């Protein structure tokens, strides 16, 4: 094992999967002290208040904010919010928000990961019940496509892109906690070129 690689295998949820895990901090980044305060405070002037959503950094440096529970005066009385299908793109350099195409299914407590081709896979979550659906967002066309469903509904799980597919681990399905790893290859095809 080199200094730049933590492990070639990772133990996830009681099972072993072959996933490369690069060093978390480069030597040059480790030499610089972290700033005590951000240069500009994070201000949410336009975006929708949400929690238990996902925020995925896109290849162009923007951030895709997906689903979660929305809160406003009308939904606060309903135990904190309602699952949402809304999607926004945050531009960190300008601090601006832009509405993006909504998902087909409202969801919170889902997982999302950036795929090597720049698309974003979103899986599972809850929307009054646990979901098994998979949706794939293409930022170049601002469109969602439906993927093959998960083998079972799940939420609060982790998902990572690996060569040839994605790995899902842990989570819950409303039954006992899920203690295995699922490697999906067909549902999130990668480009062949």
DSSP, res 148: P
Is pLDDT at 177 greater than 80 in this prediction? Answer: no
Instruction: Look up the pTM and report it.
Output: 0.69
Domain ranges for the chain: 14-21+45-184
Dist CA 7 CA 21 (whole Å): 6
Domain topology for 14-21+45-184: Neuraminidase (2.120.10)
Query: Please, what sign has the CA dihedral across residues 53, 185, 20, 32?
Result: negative
Q: Which of 70, 141, 156, 150 is nearest to 110 (CA)?
A: 156
Lowest mean pLDDT segment, chosen from 17-21, 79-83, 154-158, 165-169? 17-21
Give 90-124 pLDDT, tens digit per residue: 999 988 999 999 999 999 999 999 999 999 999 99
Query: At a CB cut-off of 8 Å and minimum separation 6, what does 116 contact?
Result: 161, 190, 191
CA 116 to each of CA 113, 167, 191: distance values in angstroms, whole numbers, following the listed order: 10, 14, 9
Dist CA 98 CA 62 (whole Å): 10
């Amino acid at each position: 094992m080199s200094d730049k690689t933590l492990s070639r295998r990772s133990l996830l949820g009681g099972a072993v999967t072959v996933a490369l895990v690069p060093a978390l901090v480069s030597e040059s980044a480790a030499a610089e002290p972290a700033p005590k305060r951000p240069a500009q405070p994070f201000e949410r002037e336009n975006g929708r208040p949400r929690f238990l959503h996902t925020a995925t950094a896109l290849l162009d440096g923007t951030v895709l904010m997906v689903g979660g529970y929305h809160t406003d005066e009308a939904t606060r009385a309903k135990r904190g919010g309602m699952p949402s299908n809304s999607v926004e793109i945050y531009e960190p350099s300008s601090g601006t928000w832009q509405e993006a195409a909504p998902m087909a299914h409202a969801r919170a407590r889902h997982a999302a990961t950036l795929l090597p081709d720049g698309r974003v896979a979103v899986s599972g979550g809850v929307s009054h019940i646990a979901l098994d659906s998979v949706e794939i967002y293409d930022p170049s066309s601002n469109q969602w496509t439906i993927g093959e469903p998960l083998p079972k509904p799940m939420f609060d799980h982790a998902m990572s892109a690996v060569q040839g597919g994605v790995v899902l681990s842990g989570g819950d399905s409303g039954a006992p906690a899920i203690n295995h790893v699922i490697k999906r290859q067909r549902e999130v095809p990668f480009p062949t070129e």
